[in-house]
């Protein structure tokens, strides 16, 4: 197994499950963005055949640290090394857990190479959904989502994986916790801090995805992802706020049935399911005690206060590369918010302005898409400079 993004929260959960089944799984490739010390510690424990650092300026440091730790493995650096690792012979399964657009090329490479792709990098689908689906068809591999919501839908869909229209599926319902600011007004949100936004009530996640959860952009990206992963029309995808985070998503059928996947909020459940599918294995997750669980509540999202979710639906309906523009602008805006140079409500304002400035174009190829991503980021940064 290649765990790309091994030092992040998804990577940590994946390696925990792998370590519980040493006779079945082996982490043969590990990668990190810039965290050399964390990557070395993981290499000491898991003894991969290849360690990749995405920042090529850190290759020498990684080599020296691994040698000092007594770890003998090949070393790669840069995006080309990530792409080669994803497509190479050292793995038959790739866990795509790199955060953001940085994971796009390696994810596509794994799909083209026919790997079993366990996908946590939602930006690959959001930015390049049509390209990813084409790569999967050409490579002959399979994709299993490990976002908790999409994995829940995967579990609730018919085992035949027939097109939704022929499976009696009426709606896909993604649940959202509502984040740390559920119920607050725009006035109350005006002065919230990055520390408050990163304090998720139910999940332990990285800073960027925590902010996306607080704005509901994370759920918007998941809506776009569900459209591509499951062939669902935008009007058949809905979002419900579910503060307890025990129902991870639902599928509604034409006969009125609702199938839901429940469990304690722990990413290892979805990861273990994807690792062993179609079998089931121990994940190390405490079973959900329904008798002791709080009452389950559901509510419609506030699209006026949390504009990012509405903007994601807007980009999905626009089609083409609008989701990629949305994602790029959001990444820049969230980075500015975390740096303290943009207020929380400014995130949606920047994204909306960039979407208006750059109308959707057809998704042609990866190079064109990367260029549009760059253009959107430049537009977002120009807007931020003008606001300062």
pLDDT at 124: 85
Sequence-ordered list of residues with C-beta below 8 angstroms from that of 318, at least 6 positions apart, any chain: 355, 359, 360
273 marked as part of a ligand binding site: no
Q: Is 34 among the annotated ligand-binding positions?
A: yes
14 is in an annotated binding site: no
For residue 163, pLDDT over 90 is answered with no
Q: Is 124 annotated as a binding residue?
A: no
pLDDT at 160: 73
256 is in an annotated binding site: no
Residue 208: the pLDDT is: 87
185 is in an annotated binding site: no
Q: What is the pLDDT of residue 87?
A: 97
For the chain, what percent of residues have pLDDT higher than 70? Answer: 98
DSSP run (H or E) holding 175: strand 169-176
Residue 201's pLDDT is 74
Pair of tokens at residue 297:
């509540």
- 13 assigned binding-site residue: no
For the chain, percent of residues with pLDDT exceeding 90 = 88
pLDDT of residue 368: 92
289 labelled binding-site residue: no
Within 10 angstroms of residue 255's Cβ, the number of other Cβ atoms is 7
65 is in an annotated binding site: no
Q: Which tokens is 69 given?
A: 């730790």
Higher pLDDT, 204 or 243: 243
Annotated binding residue at 84? no
| Whether 241 contacts 178, CB under 8 Å | yes
Is residue 234's pLDDT more than 70?
A: yes
Rounded mean pLDDT of the chain? 94
Q: Is 257 annotated as a binding residue?
A: no
**Which residue(s) pair with 240 in the sheet?**
175
Residue ranges and CATH numbers for the domains of the chain are: 2-145 (3.40.50.720), 153-276 (no CATH), 319-387 (1.10.1740.10)
Q: What is the pLDDT of residue 254?
A: 95
Binding site annotation covers 183? no
Q: How far apart are CA 88 and CA 121, in angstroms?
A: 19
Residues 107, 133 contacting (CB under 8 angstroms): no
122 is in an annotated binding site: yes
Instruction: Give per-residue pLDDT as tens, 313-334.
Output: 999 999 999 999 999 999 999 9
- pLDDT number for residue 300: 96
**Residue 199, annotated as binding a ligand:** no
What is the mean predicted confidence (pLDDT) over 74-84?
Answer: 97
Write out pLDDT tens, residues 31-55. 999 999 999 999 999 999 999 999 9
Section 115-130 average pLDDT? 90
202 is annotated as contributing to ligand binding:
no
If residue 227 lies in a helix (H) or strand (E), which one and from where to where? Answer: helix 217-230
């Amino acid at each position: 197994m290649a765990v790309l993004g091994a030092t992040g929260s998804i990577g940590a959960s994946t390696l925990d499950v792998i370590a519980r089944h040493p006779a079945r799984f082996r982490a043969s490739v590990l990668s990190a963005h810039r965290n050399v010390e964390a990557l070395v510690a993981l290499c000491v424990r898991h003894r991969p055949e290849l360690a990749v650092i995405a920042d090529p300026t850190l290759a020498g440091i990684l080599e020296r640290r691994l040698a000092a730790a007594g770890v003998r493995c090949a070393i790669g650096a840069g995006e080309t090394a990530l792409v080669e690792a994803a497509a190479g012979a050292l793995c038959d399964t790739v866990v795509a857990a790199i955060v953001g657009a940085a994971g796009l090329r390696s994810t596509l490479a794994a799909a083209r190479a026919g790997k079993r792709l366990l996908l946590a990098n939602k930006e690959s689908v959001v930015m390049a959904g049509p390209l990813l689906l084409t790569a999967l068809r050409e490579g002959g591999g399979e994709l299993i989502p490990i976002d908790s919501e999409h994995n829940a839908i995967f579990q609730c869909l018919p085992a035949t994986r027939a097109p939704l229209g022929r499976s009696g599926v009426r709606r896909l319902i993604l649940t959202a916790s509502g984040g740390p600011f559920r119920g607050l007004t725009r006035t109350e949100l005006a002065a919230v801090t990055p520390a408050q936004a990163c304090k998720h009530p139910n999940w332990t996640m990285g800073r960027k995805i925590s902010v996306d959860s607080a704005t509901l952009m994370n759920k918007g990206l998941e809506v776009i992802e569900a459209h591509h992963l499951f062939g669902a029309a935008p009007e058949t995808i809905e979002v419900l706020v579910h503060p307890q985070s025990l129902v991870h998503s639902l599928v509604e059928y034409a006969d009125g049935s609702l199938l839901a996947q429940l469990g304690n909020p722990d990413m290892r459940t979805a990861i273990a399911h994807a690792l062993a599918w179609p079998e089931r294995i121990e994940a190390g997750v405490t079973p959900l005690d329904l008798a002791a669980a709080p009452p389950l509540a559901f509510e419609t999202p506030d699209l006026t206060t949390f504009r990012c979710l509405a903007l994601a639906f807007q980009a999905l309906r626009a089609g083409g590369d609008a989701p990629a523009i949305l994602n790029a602008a959001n990444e820049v805006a969230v980075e500015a918010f975390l740096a303290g140079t943009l207020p929380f409500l400014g995130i949606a304002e920047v994204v909306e302005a960039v979407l208006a400035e750059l109308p959707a174009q057809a998704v042609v190829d990866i190079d064109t898409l990367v260029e549009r991503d760059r253009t959107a980021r430049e537009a977002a940064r120009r807007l931020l400079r003008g606001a300062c």
